[in-house]
Structure 1
Amino acid sequence: MSRRPAVLALLATATLLSACGSASGSEQYGPNPELPKPERGLIPPMTIADPAGWGDRRPTVPQGYQVTAIATDMKIPRQSLVLPNGDILVAEGKGGGDAPIVRPKDLIAGYFKKKGTSSVKGGDRLTLLRDANGDGTYEGRTVFAEKLNAPYGLALVGNRLFVANQDSLVRFDYAPGQTRASGPPVLVTKLPAEINHHWTKSLAASPDGRSLFVGIGSNSNIGERGMAAEEERAMVWQVDAETGATRRFATGIRNPTALTIQPGTNQLWAVVNERDELGSNLVPDYLTSVRPGAFYGWPYAYWGANPDRRVQPFREEMVGRTVRPDYSLGSHMAPLGVAFSSAAMGGQFADGAFVGLHGSWNREQPVGYKVVFVPFRGGSPAGPPVDFLAGFQGDGKTFGRPVGVTVDPRGALIVADDLSNTVWRVTPVRQAAPARVASAG
Structure 2
Amino acid sequence: MDFLARATAIVGGAMVLLRRFGAPNTVAVGTAPTIPDAKKQGIMTLKMPTAQGWAPGQVPVAAAGLRVNAFATGLQHPRWIEVLPNGDVLVAEALQQASPPKSLMDRATQATMRRARALGISANRISLWRDADGDGVAETREAFLEGQNQPFGMALVDGTFYVGNTDGIVAFPYQDGATRLEGPGRKLVTFKPGGHWTRSLIVSPDRRRIYAGVGSLSNIGDEGMEAEEGRAAIWELDIASGAARIFASGLRNAVGMAWEPVTGALWTVVNERDGLGDETPPDYLTSVQDGGFYGWPYCYWGRTVDDRVPQDAALVARAITPDYALGGHTASLGLCWMPEGTLPGFPDGMVIGQHGSWNRSKLSGYKLIFVPFSGGRPSGPPRDILWGFLSADEKTSYGRPVGVTIGPDKRSLLMADDVGDVIWRVTGV
- Normalised by the size of structure 2, how large is the TM-score? 0.93
Give a deviation string over 1:267-295, Cα, whole Å, max 9, x none: 21111000000011111000111100010
- Describe how 1:230-245 pairs up with structure 2 within 5 A: 230-245=228-243
Q: Does 1:392 align with 2:378?
A: no
Most deviating of 25-34 and 171-180: 171-180
Pairing 1:357-368 to 2, within 5 Å after superposition? 357-368=354-365
What is the Cα deviation at residue 99 of structure 1?
A: 6.1
Do the aligned partners of residues 126 and 9 (structure 1) sit closer, same or farther apart at CA in structure 2, a change above 3 Å counting? closer
Within the candidate set 369, 374, 378, 2:371 is matched to: 374
In the alignment, what sits opposite 1:68? Answer: 69
Are the counterparts in 2 of residues 338 and 354 from structure 1 also a CA contact under 8 Å? yes
Q: Distance in 1 between matches of 2:153 and 2:322?
A: 22
Q: Summarize the Cα distance change of 1:9–1:88 in structure 2 as closer, same or farther, 3 Å threshold.
A: closer
3-state SS in 1 of match to 2:336:
strand
- Once residues 365 and 28 of structure 1 are traced to their aligned partners in structure 2, the CA distance between those partners, rounded to angstroms, is 14
Contact 2:332 2:352 in 1 (8 A): yes
Give the equivalent residue in structure 2 for 1:405: 404
CA distance in 1, matches of 2:379, 2:145: 40
Q: Which digits, 9 at most, give the CA deviation of each residue in 1:34-92, with x for residues without a partner?
A: 11111113322232212223113210112222111111110111100111111101011
Instruction: Please report the RMSD computed on the Cα atoms of aligned residues, expressed in angstroms.
Output: 2.0
Cα distance in structure 2, aligned partners of 1:176 and 1:377: 36
Aligned to 1:212: 210
SS at match of 2:50: coil
CA contact (8 A) 2:98 2:110 kept: no
2-side partners of 1:89 and 1:338: how far apart?
16
Q: State whether structure 2 residue 150 is matched by structure 1 residue 150.
A: yes
In the alignment, which residue of structure 2 is the partner of 1:180? Answer: 180
TM-score by length of 1: 0.91
Structure 1 residues 109 and 24: CA distance shift in structure 2, 3 A: farther
CA distance in 1, matches of 2:62, 2:279: 27
**Is 1:260 matched up with 2:258?**
yes
Residue 47 (structure 2) pairs with residue 47 (structure 1): yes
1:246 paired residue among 217, 241, 244: 244
1:365-392 CA distance string (max 9 Å, x none): 1110010001111111111110001111
The separation in 2 between residues aligned to 1:12 and 1:391, in whole angstroms, is 25
Q: CA deviation at 1:262?
A: 2.1
Give the distance between the partners of 2:305 and 2:161, measured in 1 at CA: 41
| 1:393 partner SS | coil
* 2:49 counterpart SS class: coil
When residues 412 and 206 of structure 1 are mapped into structure 2, their CA distance, relative to the original with a 3 A threshold, is: same
Matches within 5 A, 1:81-160: 81-98=82-99, 100-101=101-102, 104-117=104-117, 121-160=121-160
AA at the equivalent of 1:336: L
In the alignment, what sits opposite 1:434? Answer: none
Amino acid corresponding to residue 319 of structure 2 in structure 1: T
C-alpha separation in 2, matches of 1:52 and 1:95: 18
- Amino acid of the residue matched to residue 134 of structure 2? G
| Amino acid of the structure 2 residue aligned with 1:187 | K
Q: Aligned partner of 1:304: which letter?
A: G
Distance 1:26 1:280 in 2: 10
Amino acid at match of 1:297: G
- Select the structure of larger CA radius of gyration: 1
Q: Give SS of 1:201's match.
A: coil
Matched, 1:417 2:417: yes
Q: Which residue of 1 aligns with 2:290?
A: 292
The 1:338/1:7 distance shift into structure 2, 3 A limit, reads closer
Distance 1:350 1:249, change over 3 A: same
Go from structure 1 to structure 2 and tell me whether the alpha carbon gap of 1:32 and 1:106 turns closer, same or farther (over 3 Å shift): farther
One-letter amino acid of the structure 2 residue matched with residue 164 of structure 1: G
TM superposition shift of 1:12: 4.8
The alpha-carbon deviation at position 105 of structure 1 amounts to: 3.8
CA contact (8 A) 2:232 2:253 kept: yes
Deviation per residue, 1:158-190 (Å, 9 max, x gap): 322111001120112223222112544222221
State the distance in 1 between where 2:23 and 2:52 align. Answer: 24
- Residues 315-347 of structure 1: CA deviation (Å, up to 9, x unaligned): 222221110001100000001100000234134
SS at match of 2:107: helix
- Counterparts of 1:164 and 1:352 in 2: how far apart (Å)? 26
Secondary structure at the aligned position of 1:25 is classed as coil
Structure 1 pair 340/7, CA: closer, same or farther in 2 (3 Å)?
closer
Does structure 1 conserve the Cα–Cα contact (< 8 Å) formed by 2:90 and 2:126?
A: yes
Per the TM alignment, residue 31 of structure 1 is displaced from its structure 2 partner at its CA by: 1.0
Alpha-carbon distance in 1 for matches of 2:88, 2:340: 20
Using the TM superposition, name which of 286-295 and 15-24 deviates more: 15-24
- The residue type paired with residue 83 of structure 1 is L
> For 1:107 and 1:424, how far apart are their aligned partners in 2?
33
**Offset of 1:210 from its aligned partner?**
1.4
- Mapped partners of 1:92, 1:23: distance in 2: 36
Structure 1 CA distance for aligned equivalents of residues 143 and 280 of structure 2: 41
Q: Quote the offset at 1:154 in angstroms.
A: 1.1
Q: Which runs of 5+ in 2 are unaligned?
A: none
Task: Supply the AA of the counterpart residue of 2:317.
Answer: G
Superposition map of 1:274-285 within 5 A: 274-285=272-283
- Residue 66 of structure 1 aligns with an amino acid whose one-letter code is R
